[in-house]
Amino acid sequence: MIASYDIQYGFEDGLNHAITQAGDALANVRFLEEKALITNFFEQINLDTGMIVFGVNDTMKALEMSAIDKVLLFDEIDITRYEILNPSTGKTTTWYLTPK
């Protein structure tokens, strides 16, 4: 279904008016994109393709290897990244910890 909007203004005012009127349609597009993303995520899990990683540590390792196409995040995750430098060896270790 294609939505049609009547815009009474020109230039920037017209563009702003068009965006305001098209807000619901644009929100629906975003919802459908997110739904397709989640559907694909569960299909990959079900097929056990090895193309999905879980957890902060595995995700960060995949990011460091540039092996990630998309990242799905839980925006209220309470994890802090710590980098610990061992002064004796000079080796840095990274930890992702929760308050617990």
* pTM, two decimal places: 0.55
- Residue 4 identity (one-letter amino acid): S
pLDDT band at 12 (very low <50, low <70, confident <90, very high): low
The residues that bridge with 70 in the sheet, in sequence order, are: none
Residue 2 has pLDDT above 70, yes or no: no
pLDDT tens, 50-91? 888 888 888 889 999 999 888 888 778 888 999 999 999 999
Q: Where are the domains of the chain?
A: 1-50, 53-100
Could you list the beta-strand ranges (E) of the chain: 80-85, 92-97
